Structure 1
Amino acid sequence: MAQYTIAVVVGSLRKDSFNKKLAGALEKLFPADFSFTHVRIDDLPLYNQDDDGNPAAQVTRIKGEITAAQGVLFVTPEYNRSIPGVLKNAIDHASRPYGQSAWNGKPAGVIGASVGPIGTAMAQQHLRNMLAYLNMPALGQPEAFIHNKEGLYDAAGNIGEASLKFLQGWVDAYVAWVKKHA
C-alpha cells in the first residue's frame, strides 16, 4: 500500500486555535495510508532576501518537511480579509531562493474555520492566488468555509454528526487529488 505524508500548515499561532483543532479533527477522517507532519511556522525569522544564501535552521527544517511530503494541507483563519502574516512569511521562506521552491508541484488542500459562516473565504482566495503562482495544484471543489459553531465537534473533539458527511466528502476529494498529483 502506498504511503502519503501530508504537510499540515496551520495559519494560526493561537494556543486554542480553531484551525489547529480543525486540522486535528480532519486528520482522523483520512485513510490509514496517510500520515501527517505538522509544519511549525512560529519560530521563523521574518523573510529577508539577503538571507537566501544562508537560511536559518528553521527555514531549512520547513523546506525539508514540505519537500518530503506528497501534499500540503493549509488550514487557516482569516485576518483582515486575507491570510495571517505568519503564514505569508512561511510561504515566502519555503519558496526561496527563486528556482528552489519547496512548494513546487505539491497538491494543496485549503480549508479554514471561523466564527462567521464564510469567514475564511477571502483568506482562502488570496491563498489560492499564491498557490497558483507557486505551481501548487489546489483542490478547487468542494470549497470548505467552516463555521466554528456548537456541534462542529463532538465531546471527544471529532467532527460532529451535522458536519461529518460534508467534511468527509472534502477529505475524500483531497485524498483523490493528492493521489492524482503526487
Structure 2
Amino acid sequence: MSQTINLALIIGSLRKASINRVFAEYITSQLPEHVKIEEVAIADLPLYNQDYDNQTIESYDQVRKQIKQADAVLIVTPEHNRTLPAALKNVIDIASRPHGESAWANKKVALVTASPGSYGARDSGLDVRKVMQSLASQVMIAPEIYLSRATESLDDGQVSSERTQKYLNKFANELVDFIGE
C-alpha cells in the first residue's frame, strides 16, 4: 500500500457553477485512493492586511495550517483581466505571512487553468507560477495545463470530451509522480 499523500486543493473561482471546479473535481477523481484531497476554502477570507500579522484570525490560521500540512497544493483557476483572480491572490498572500513563516516555502504546487476563451487562462497561469516561484515553492513544470475553449469539453456539468479526459488523466498521473519525488 502506498503512503498517504495529502493534497490541498485551491479553486481560484468563487462561482458556484465554475468550470474550474468541474475540472478540479474531474482531476481529483482520477487520483489514486492514497491521495487525500482537502479543499482550502477561500470565498470568505478577509482581504490580507499586514496589520493582521500579529493578530489571530481563525480563517487565516486555518488556510495556513491546511497548506503547511499538505504534501502538495493543486491550484485550478480561471483568469480575471489577464491575471490571477483576486481571491486566489488573497489566499496566496495570507499563506505567505507573517514574514518568515510562509506556508509556501518548498511546497510542491501544481497548476491548472481553464477558460472559455482561446488562451486557456495562460496569463493567469504564468502569473501564478511567477508568484509561487518567488515564494520558493516547487512548481510542477510539465505538463502545463491551460485549457482553452474549456466549455467545449463539458456537457451537463461534466468533462465529456474524451481528448480532454485523456489529457487530464495524464496530468493526474504526473501530479502523483511529482508529489512523490
In the superposition, the TM-score normalised over structure 2's length comes to 0.93
- For 1:47-62, list aligned pairs within 5 A: 47-62=48-63
Aligned AA (1:142) = P
Q: Which runs of 5+ in 1 are unaligned?
A: none
State the shift of 1:157 in Å: 2.4
- Helix, strand or coil for the counterpart of 2:16? coil
Would the aligned equivalents of 2:22 and 2:157 in 1 still touch at CA under 8 Å? Answer: no
Deviation at 1:44, TM superposition (A): 0.9
Distance 1:119 1:146, change over 3 A: closer
Q: CA 1:163 to 1:100, structure 2 compared with 1: closer, same or farther past 3 Å?
A: same
Residue pair 1:26, 1:159 contacting (<8 A) in 2 also = no
Compute the displacement of 1:154 (Å): 5.7
Gaps of 5+ in 2: none
For residues 127-171 of structure 1, the C-alpha deviation after alignment (integer angstroms, 9 at most, x for no partner) is 000110111111111111113133x24668255312122111111
1:159 to 1:37, Cα distance in 2 relative to 1, 3 A:
farther
1:55-94: CA deviation from partner (whole Å, max 9, x where unpaired): 3100001011111110000001001110011111111011
Residue number in structure 1 paired with 2:168: 167
The secondary structure found in structure 1 opposite 2:151 is coil
Q: Does 1:108 align with 2:114?
A: no
**TM-superposed deviation, 1:117:** 3.0
Aligned AA (2:11) = V
- The amino acid that maps onto 1:134 is L
Distance 1:67 1:176, change over 3 A: same
Look up the SS of the partner of 1:52 in the other structure: helix
Residue 151 of structure 2 corresponds to 149
1:13 aligns with 2:4: no
Shift of 1:7: 0.5
Q: TM-score, normalised by structure 1?
A: 0.93
Contact 2:19 2:151 in 1 (8 A): no
Matches within 5 A, 1:1-182: 1-147=2-148, 148-150=150-152, 152-153=153-154, 157-158=158-159, 160-180=161-181
Q: Report deviation, 1:118.
A: 1.9
Q: 1:59 & 1:159 partners in 2: Cα distance? A: 36
SS at 1:20's partner residue? helix
C-alpha root-mean-square deviation of aligned residues, in Å?
1.4
In the alignment, the residues of structure 2 paired with residue 74 and residue 65 of structure 1 have an alpha-carbon distance, to the nearest angstrom, of 14
| Distance in structure 1 (CA, Å) of the matches to 2:151 and 2:157 | 16
How many pairs does the alignment contain? 179
